[in-house]
Each structure stands twice: as C-alpha cells, then as structure tokens.
C-alpha cells in the first residue's frame, strides 16, 4: 500500500504477485464492467455473469435487508414464523391459476398461497403467524409485474375487531421495515438506500368507490386493471403525499371467489377487504376472514366451490374459531418498487415466468 493523490481514499494497493485461479472463456456473452447494457433476456440467460455486476448485487442486498426487516418486525410483535405445505389437494382460490402435479397415484397442485393453513393454525391456538415462502400461479401474464413463481409473505392474526386492526399492524410493519432497510443499506454504502421513501403513518385509506370515480367508471364493481392501478397511485400520492395507501371496502362481487373473505353483516354487498398499494402497484391484499362455519360454507357454495373438497380445512372451524384476519404481501413486488426496477424478474435471482425454466 502506498499514498496516492489520485486515489479516492488517498492510498492505493500495489500487488506483489497475481495468481490466476480459474480462467474465463472468451468472448463473454455479456459485459461485466462496461457501460453497454444487455437485453433482459440475455442477462437472464447468463444470470451468473449478470449477478457479478455491482448494480445487480445491490438489488439482492436490498432484498436480503427487506426479508430481515420483515422477520424482525413480525417477531417483535409476537408472530410465530411457520412453514405450510406447497403440495395441496385443493387450491385456496381454485380456477385455472393452479399448477397440477403428478403426486404418486393422485393429482396435486402447487400452492397458490398458504391461506387455508394459516387459518387452520389460528384454530390450533397459534394466535399470530407469518410465513415467507414460494407460491405459484399459472397465470399466462406476460407483464413486468407478474411471474409464475414468487415469494409471498403471509400473516394471520386472531382476536381482531375488524379490518383496521390488520391495516394498522401492516402499515407499522411496512414503515419499520423500510426504515430498517434504509439503515442497513446506508451502512454498507449501497446506492439504493437513496431511493427508499421516508414513510409516515397512517397511510391514506381510500374507499373502493372513490377509486372507481378516479378512474372514470363509478359503480361498476369490477377489479382495477394495471393502468387503472397506476392512475390511482398517481392520484393518491398527489392528494395525500404518501407512496403507500390502502384501497378499502372492496365489494363482495369483486371478492366472490375469495370464499374466506368476511362479508359485512350490516351490508353483505361489502367486505372488509383491502389492498395495500405502492405507487400504482398492488403489493398486499387481505382483510377479516369469515370465522363462522355456516357462513363460510355458504360463501363457498356462492363462489362455486364444493365444501366436501375442503373437509380438512373446515374441520378447524367445527371446534371454535376466533375472529381473525390477515394478508398476503408480494416480496418480489416490494423489492421491485423499492429498487426502482423496470421488471419484476430483476428482483429474483433466477425468475420463472410463462416461458422461462432455465437457468
């Protein structure tokens, strides 16, 4: 080591010897240190080389900090981290978004979410649980915000008094996690720390009906599309100054196939369900669940499900189930938004989509 006026820190290393441990083939399929960008497909085809870039590594340092922050925030609030099966006989939401799997002499499906098991654990007396695990949706979506294998953070809480208990807990956890990520990244001089918002609570609560008016289709009771979500995000941040916001009071007609969603007794046309948006992207969805067996069975039938196919799940409700609720949050989506990535595939080490199974 010697002093140097040209070096950023005033000193430079002077090597005494260089040993080649392993030679790289040439030419490389994409640049590592040059400024010439490669197409995303090329980068993903040669992901090991792509991950050597400091800017790409920075994304996964952020992702690591996000996961650590969430785990700490949940644990300090008395949540127990759990693991639930990913091979199921039935999906939580059914339909064409299930991946079928040959399971010995039976047919099984890859899990869309741990929803049913979370509720069963509430019935088992585990009053606060969370899980960070892969989930799978066979949606033929070729967009920058959809992938077929994703990481879901799911949580469930017992003895709630309504949706506001859930929203208050979720926003506190998100605020605390983002602050923790900013601190962790600043300490390692990760440039992405500068992108992280300074959040204040409470996040805005925006009724579904208000959002319908914002996008110019009041009273239609149809879920929002991608461009409409973006419009809502821009309007919410302009009016409330917050990048995070809740869409609340979803109509029952929109959540009909979500049979476990609690309906309002005062107005059965509405649920207590909500979405958490982040600058025009839905990153979490949840609400109070239906804990009464008779009403839950009624919701199943109304949504086109046969209760006989959910015998194991329904048994948990036969022996006393407290009022409860929870949410699912997309880790890949929040990493995409915090890191300012154009495509959600950049938020996973080895993404899977409609066409990609390698590497």
Residue 152 among the catalytic residues:
no
Report d(CA 196, CA 190) in Å as an integer.
Answer: 11
At 293, give phi and psi (nearest 5°): -60, -50
Catalytic choice (93, 139, 164, 221)? 139
CA 6 to chain CA mean position, Å: 45
Residue 137 among the catalytic residues:
yes
Residue 242 among the catalytic residues:
no
Query: Angle, nearest 10°, between helix axes 311-318 and 115-123?
Result: 30
Catalytic choice (156, 282, 290, 346)? 282
Residue 187 among the catalytic residues:
no
Please report the beta strands in the chain, taking only residues with DSSP state E, as ranges in sequence order.
2-3, 11-12, 80-81, 87-88, 100-103, 106-110, 128-136, 149-158, 205-207, 244-248, 274-278, 281-288, 324-330
Q: What share of the chain is helix, strand, coil (3-state, %, to 5)?
A: 35, 20, 45
Catalytic choice (113, 193, 242, 285)? 285
Residue 139 among the catalytic residues:
yes
Report d(CA 156, CA 77) in Å as an integer.
Answer: 12
Catalytic choice (43, 63, 128, 146)? 146
Report d(CA 52, CA 221) in Å as an integer.
Answer: 47
Residue 282 among the catalytic residues:
yes
Report d(CA 169, CA 128) in Å as an integer.
Answer: 12
Catalytic choice (333, 345, 346, 348)? 333
Catalytic choice (43, 128, 145, 345)? 145
Residue 356 among the catalytic residues:
no
Residue 251: count of CB within 10 angstroms of its CB: 20
Catalytic choice (137, 182, 291, 324)? 137
Positions marked catalytic: 137, 139, 145-146, 282, 285, 333
């Amino acid at each position: 080591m010697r002093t140097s006026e040209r070096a950023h820190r005033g000193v430079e290393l002077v090597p005494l010897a260089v040993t080649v441990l392993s030679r790289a083939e040439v030419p490389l399929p994409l640049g590592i240190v040059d400024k010439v960008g490669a197409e995303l497909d090329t980068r993903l085809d040669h992901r090991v080389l792509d991950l050597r870039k400091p800017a790409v590594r920075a994304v996964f340092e952020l992702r690591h900090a996000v996961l650590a922050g969430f785990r700490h925030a949940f644990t300090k609030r008395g949540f127990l981290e759990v693991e639930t099966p990913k091979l199921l006989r039935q999906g939580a939401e059914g339909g064409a978004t299930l991946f079928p799997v040959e399971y010995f002499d039976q047919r099984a499906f890859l899990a869309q979410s741990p929803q049913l098991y979370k509720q069963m654990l509430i019935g088992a007396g585990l009053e606060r649980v969370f899980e960070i695990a892969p989930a799978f949706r066979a949606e033929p979506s070729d967009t920058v915000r959809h992938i077929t294998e994703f990481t879901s953070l799911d949580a469930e809480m017992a003895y709630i008094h309504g949706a506001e208990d859930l929203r208050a807990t979720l926003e506190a956890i998100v605020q605390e996690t983002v602050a923790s990520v900013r601190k962790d990244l600043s300490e390692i001089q990760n440039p992405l720390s500068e992108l992280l918002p300074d959040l204040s609570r409470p996040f805005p609560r925006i009724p579904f009906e208000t959002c319908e008016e914002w996008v110019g289709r009041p009273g239609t009771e149809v879920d929002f599309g991608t461009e409409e979500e973006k419009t809502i995000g821009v309007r919410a941040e302009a009016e409330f100054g917050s990048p995070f916001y809740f869409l609340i009071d979803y109509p029952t007609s929109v959540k009909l196939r979500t049979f476990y969603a609690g309906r309002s007794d005062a107005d059965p046309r509405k649920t207590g369900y909500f979405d958490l948006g982040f600058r025009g992207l839905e990153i979490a969805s949840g609400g109070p669940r239906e804990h009464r067996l008779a009403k839950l069975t009624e919701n199943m039938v109304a949504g086109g499900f046969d209760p006989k196919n959910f015998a194991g799940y329904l048994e948990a409700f036969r022996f006393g189930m407290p009022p409860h609720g929870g949410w699912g949050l997309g880790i890949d989506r929040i990493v995409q938004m915090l890191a300012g990535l154009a495509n959600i595939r950049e938020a996973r080490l080895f993404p899977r989509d409609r066409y990609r199974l390698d590497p």
